[in-house]
Amino acid sequence: MTTTATSYLQATSLVPSLTVDDLQRSITFYEKLGFIVEERWEDEGVLRGVMLQAGEFRLGLAQDDWQKGRDRRKGVGMRIYIGTTQDVDALAARAKESGLTLEADVHDTPWGSRAFELNDPSGFKLTLSSEP
Say how many C-beta atoms besides its own lie within 10 A of residue 103's C-beta. Answer: 11
Predicted TM-score of the model (pTM):
0.89
Q: Is the per-residue pLDDT at 3 higher than 70?
A: no
Q: Is the per-residue pLDDT at 11 higher than 90?
A: no
Looking at this protein, which amino acid is placed at residue 4? T
Q: Is the per-residue pLDDT at 88 higher than 90?
A: yes
Q: Is the per-residue pLDDT at 2 higher than 70?
A: no
Q: How do residues 95-131 score in pLDDT, each as one tens digit? A: 999 999 999 999 999 999 999 999 999 999 999 999 9
Strand-pair partners of 43: 46
Based on the number of CB atoms within 10 Å of its own CB, is 20 exposed (0-12), middle (13-18) or buried (19 or more)? buried
Q: Is the per-residue pLDDT at 90 higher than 70?
A: yes
Q: How do residues 33-82 score in pLDDT, each as one tens digit? A: 999 999 999 999 999 999 999 999 999 999 999 988 888 888 888 999 99
Name the 3-class secondary structure at 48.
strand
Average pLDDT over residues 16-29: 97
Q: Is the per-residue pLDDT at 31 higher than 80?
A: yes
Asked whether the beta carbons of 52 and 36 are under 8 A apart, the reply is yes
- Given the candidates 3.20.20.70, 3.10.129.10, 3.10.180.10, 3.40.50.720, the CATH classification of the domain at 17-65+75-130 is 3.10.180.10
Q: Is the per-residue pLDDT at 12 higher than 90?
A: no
The reported pLDDT for the residue numbered 75 is 83
The reported pLDDT for the residue numbered 1 is 58
Q: Domain limits of the chain? A: 17-65+75-130
